């Protein structure tokens, strides 16, 4: 145990922790910060987020036909409010857009200057949420009434699965803003963690070789078995690095305040087709598990390279293609 602990201390030095800090600060500001600072990102994302919470509070994690009727009723009430609002606007009355229905079907590309100014004022200046909200409600109604998943480019097997889900009443109904944000966030977090793991673990074994310490280690009682201990220490260190970073990043993610969505199933979010249908919270846990898995694979691979390459430069050269390939595929997915 003492030897494992010694090897861990050799990997997690203050220098490597400083390296972790630098890597993560850089990647945080380049890749991750946006998804915390700008969530929900503008309109109608904010309305989408708020409506999602309202739906969960009223109907729970799913919405059935009866509940949809209630959703429609709320929509109609809000439309009437919009009608009343428009009727108080002289320009709206003069332009013949004194109801929300007319406002919606108005040919805005032919709009007069006054009408254009009115629309801009309603959406961007008055601080009125109503018109943004109605747009989003209308979009959600469209999705519910469509009662289907996206099926573009779906394979026959996927189509069959969509049909099964639709029969069970599972289709994209709830606003996707929370889960989309999480997907983008966690992808970039995974890239940051992967870089961190590779950076810290790469020199774990090579360092002893380049400093001519291996002959001392292998002639001690422990002997060549030390390599196994080093791998174990590397594994534990990888877990510690991943866990530490995940605690920090998930702590930061909690600022997005999406816990209300945790019980909603993935396939219930618009445009989030999945073979399995975990809740959002389970999905978060799966992604965390995935990060551990990929992190461990890359950590062990980094140590593997570390045992065979002759120097640090070769080590970096050998690993860059793998890390780049993963980062590229993660960022493009």
Q: Does 211 bind another protein (CB under 8 A)?
A: yes
Q: Does 219 bind another protein (CB under 8 A)?
A: yes
Do the beta carbons of residue 168 and residue 148 sit within 8 Å?
A: no
The whole-angstrom separation of Cα 299 and Cα 12 is: 13
For the bound state, the minimum distance from the C-beta of residue 229 to another protein, rounded and expressed in Å, comes to 9
Applying CB under 8 A, which of residues 127, 212, 332, 333 lies at the interface with another protein? 212
The whole-angstrom separation of Cα 211 and Cα 223 is: 17
Nearer to another protein, 229 or 274 (CB): 229
**Bridge partners for 265 per DSSP:** 279
Nearer to another protein, 22 or 216 (CB): 216
Nearer to another protein, 192 or 226 (CB): 226
Q: Does 113 bind another protein (CB under 8 A)?
A: no
Nearer to another protein, 2 or 88 (CB): 2
Determine the length of the chain: 333
Nearer to another protein, 218 or 286 (CB): 218
Q: Which stretch binds another protein (CB under 8 A): 3-11, 174-182, 239-247, 309-317?
A: 3-11
Nearer to another protein, 220 or 255 (CB): 220
Q: Compute the half-sphere exposure of residue 148: CA atoms within 13 Å on the CB side of its CA.
A: 9
Which residues within the stretch 221-250 sit at the binding site for another protein (CB under 8 A)? 221-223, 226
Whether omega for the bond prior to residue 209 falls within 30 degrees of 0, making it cis, is no
Q: Does 95 bind another protein (CB under 8 A)?
A: no
Q: Which stretch binds another protein (CB under 8 A): 1-9, 168-176, 198-206, 249-257?
A: 1-9
The set of residues, in sequence order, having a beta carbon less than 8 Å from that of 209 and lying 6+ positions away, is none
Q: Give the binding-site size for another protein (rule: CB under 8 A).
A: 20
Q: Compute the half-sphere exposure of residue 54: CA atoms within 13 Å on the CB side of its CA.
A: 16
Applying CB under 8 A, which of residues 108, 124, 218, 328 lies at the interface with another protein? 218
For the bound state, the minimum distance from the C-beta of residue 245 to another protein, rounded and expressed in Å, comes to 24
Whether omega for the bond prior to residue 288 falls within 30 degrees of 0, making it cis, is no
- Three-state DSSP at 323 gives helix
For the bound state, the minimum distance from the C-beta of residue 221 to another protein, rounded and expressed in Å, comes to 4
Residue with structure tokens 């593997």? 304
Between the alpha carbon of residue 49 and those of residues 167, 188, 257, 272, the distances in Å are: 27, 22, 10, 16
Nearer to another protein, 31 or 226 (CB): 226
What the block records as the tokens of 135 is 């747009």
Do the beta carbons of residue 184 and residue 289 sit within 8 Å?
A: no
Do the beta carbons of residue 292 and residue 250 sit within 8 Å?
A: no
The whole-angstrom separation of Cα 89 and Cα 105 is: 18
Applying CB under 8 A, which of residues 17, 93, 94, 220 lies at the interface with another protein? 220
Nearer to another protein, 213 or 325 (CB): 213
Applying CB under 8 A, which of residues 215, 259, 314, 329 lies at the interface with another protein? 215
Q: Which stretch binds another protein (CB under 8 A): 161-169, 210-218, 283-291, 309-317?
A: 210-218
The set of residues, in sequence order, having a beta carbon less than 8 Å from that of 47 and lying 6+ positions away, is 129, 132, 133, 135, 136
- Three-state DSSP at 56 gives helix
Q: Does 3 bind another protein (CB under 8 A)?
A: yes
For the bound state, the minimum distance from the C-beta of residue 315 to another protein, rounded and expressed in Å, comes to 18
Binding residues for another protein, rule: CB under 8 A, are 2-3, 6, 10, 13, 208, 211-223, 226
């Amino acid at each position: 145990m003492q030897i494992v602990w010694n090897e861990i201390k050799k990997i997690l030095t203050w220098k490597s922790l400083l390296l972790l800090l630098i890597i993560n600060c850089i990647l945080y500001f380049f890749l991750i910060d946006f998804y915390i600072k700008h969530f929900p990102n503008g309109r109608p994302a904010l309305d989408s987020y708020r409506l999602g919470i309202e739906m969960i509070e009223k109907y729970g994690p799913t919405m059935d036909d009866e509940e949809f009727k209630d959703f429609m009723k709320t929509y109609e009430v809000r439309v009437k409010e919009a009608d009343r609002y428009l009727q108080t606007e002289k320009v709206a009355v003069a332009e013949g857009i004194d109801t929300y229905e007319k406002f919606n079907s108005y040919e805005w590309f032919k709009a007069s200057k006054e009408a254009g100014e009115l629309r801009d004022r309603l959406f961007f200046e008055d601080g009125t949420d109503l018109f943004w909200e109605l747009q989003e409600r209308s979009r959600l109604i469209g999705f519910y009434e469509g009662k289907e998943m996206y099926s573009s480019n779906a394979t026959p097997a996927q189509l069959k699965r969509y049909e099964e889900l639709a029969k069970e009443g599972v289709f994209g109904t709830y606003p996707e803003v929370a889960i989309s944000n999480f997907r983008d966030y966690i992808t970039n977090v995974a890239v940051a963690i992967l870089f961190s793991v590779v950076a810290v673990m790469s020199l774990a074994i090579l360092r002893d070789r380049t400093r001519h310490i291996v002959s001392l280690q292998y002639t001690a009682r422990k002997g060549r078995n030390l390599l196994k201990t080093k791998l174990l220490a590397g594994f534990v260190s990888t877990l510690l690095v991943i866990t530490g970073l995940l605690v920090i990043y998930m702590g930061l993610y909690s600022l997005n305040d999406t816990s209300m969505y945790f019980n909603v199933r993935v396939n219930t979010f618009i445009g989030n087709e999945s073979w399995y249908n975990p809740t959002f919270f389970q999905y978060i846990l799966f992604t965390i598990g995935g990060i551990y898995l990929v992190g461990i694979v890359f950590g062990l691979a980094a140590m593997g390279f570390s045992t065979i390459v002759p120097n640090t430069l070769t080590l970096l050269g050998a690993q860059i293609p793998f890390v780049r390939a993963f980062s590229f595929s993660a960022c493009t997915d």
